[in-house]
Amino acid sequence: TNDFIDAIQTGSLAKFRKRYRQADVLLIDDIQFLGGKERSQEEFFHTFNTLFDGHKQIVLSSDRPPSEIANLENRLVSRFEWGLTAEMQPPDIETRTAILRKKAQNMQVKLAPEIIDFLAEKIRTNVRRLEGALMRVASYVSLNEGKTPTMERLETLLKDILQEEARKSVTIEQIQKRVAEHFDVRLADM
């Protein structure tokens, strides 16, 4: 979108179109931000068609399915639904642990297994947040000449992250239980 706006302002739409319509792979994150941007949607529609007709790869990510993106033209919704749609779930604890170990290794930081386990167990919803917590711990270790933080210090160091994680930990099972209680229905009957 920013490149498109710049191309309009500088009168270089031909150069813009050549760049994007001759790509072998188009990867766009947060496609939901096209919603409501009529000219950007129009341009993207033609770019999408050109790439699709040329059998090029198009990979789009969004925080919601195409049909739920507000103010997105129906013709784009239908094109987005042509391909494979995959829902990405937060990683399980084993994956989070593996991510932390690999990142710590890449950062050349040695952390006790209980610290890695603590981070993997407490930070469940977001890999960026997990990496941010690891960065804080690695910085602490670096600034304290390799000294590993105690669990109490670790909780203080990550207080805001841990509070945010605790706030968002609503599970499907919790929702089902509350609905069943509210409507006086057995969980098995739902």
How far does CA 50 lie from the centroid of its chain?
28
pLDDT of residue 190: 79
> Which stretches in the chain have pLDDT values below 70?
168-170
Max CA separation in the chain (angstroms): 64
pLDDT of residue 115: 95
pLDDT of residue 16: 96
Backbone angles phi, psi at 81, to 5 degrees: -85, -5
Contacts of residue 50, Cβ cutoff 8 Å, sequence gap at least 6: 21
pLDDT of residue 177: 85
Angle between helices 93-106 and 127-143 (to 10 degrees): 40
pLDDT of residue 169: 62
Distance CA 188, CA 190 (A): 5
Both tokens of 84, joined, read 């494979």
